[in-house]
Structure 1
């Protein structure tokens, strides 16, 4: 007698989610390998932490000697931004697909995100109190994204205006 065992089929949405997650995990692994090589070349100590946050891979370099890693952050995160782009290119070279990977070093980006949420919250309060749009200082694409998300979470609208590098967020009444 032959026994038939039915294997449950994953639905298409579940398969897409699994595929996207494994693709993002692969991006994180490629990025971690690239960054480990970079740390070795620069003779810097650091641990690499990989995660998937929403729809992007996230890689962090952390160290007990965070002062040592400040070289990789640079003034106002300029070196960090450049390293993120180089890491994205390394991932692209391996996968053939554009990466939206986020890189953080010694918690710089996490601290920056907290500061930007506060800026967005203050602008929201100013718009609610005065009823007029509030234009913020020029920001990088990462900074603008964080502020847009904070404004949206507070129930108001925002838009970017201007040309790089002077592009800024304008917070608008509801």
Structure 2
């Protein structure tokens, strides 16, 4: 039972962002990097405004209609796009969304000179994916508790791994760590030591 995969998460991921160190624990961030020093809300909101302008330009080029919300959440800039006909901006398993997020981060970097931890969401994809991943994490934790053996989950993007780590960290009796190299980086859930 040591190499059991969950059916909720497919085997391959095309939406990985950047390569990460070999054995990152639950401190990994949703963008695959490490925490950067906290910026003040004014700087974060400026990043979200720059990102929103960039995304608005992309929507105009693509002739898509969408409302754009710019905010800060959890110490990071966030841009949310809502509207009809936006699924193609998410892509299969969020691959297109991840690519758009990277392009938007580059646009922010170009204007600020500082790497951004911007989170881009389209059509509420990330919120619904978080719920799915919470169920995957809880299911894996229950199996680990029941059988007492580690479980390797399917490869996931940095955002997905962060969501799973957050759920596992909140549970007792289990722990998680990431292993492997992008795009095959995965989480291992094991009994707590």
TM-score, normalized by the shorter chain, greater than 0.5: yes
Matched, 1:131 2:184: no
The residue aligned with 2:15 is none
Deviations 1:103-139 (CA, angstroms, capped at 9, x unpaired): 1101111111110111111111111111111110111
What do you get for the CA RMSD once the two structures are aligned? 1.4
Matched, 1:26 2:59: no
- Unpaired segments of 5 or more residues in structure 1? 1-15
Which of 135, 154, 160 is 2:178 aligned to? Answer: 160
Worse overlay, 70-79 or 27-36? 70-79
Higher relative contact order (CA 8 A, sep 6+): 2
- Unpaired segments of 5 or more residues in structure 2? 1-36
Deviations 1:114-168 (CA, angstroms, capped at 9, x unpaired): 1011111111111111111111011111111110111001133110111211110
* Stretches of 4+ aligned residues off by more than 3 angstroms: none
Q: In structure 2, how many angstroms separate the alpha carbons of the residues matched to 1:125 and 1:138?
A: 20
Q: Where is the helix percentage greater, Structure 1 or Structure 2? A: 1
Looking at CA atoms only, which structure, 1 or 2, has the larger radius of gyration? Answer: 1
Which of 46, 60, 74 is 2:66 aligned to? Answer: 46
Q: In structure 1, how many angstroms separate the alpha carbons of the residues matched to 2:151 and 2:88?
A: 35
Counterparts of residues 1-174 of structure 1 (less than 5 Å) = 20-63=40-83, 65=84, 68-155=85-172, 156-174=174-192
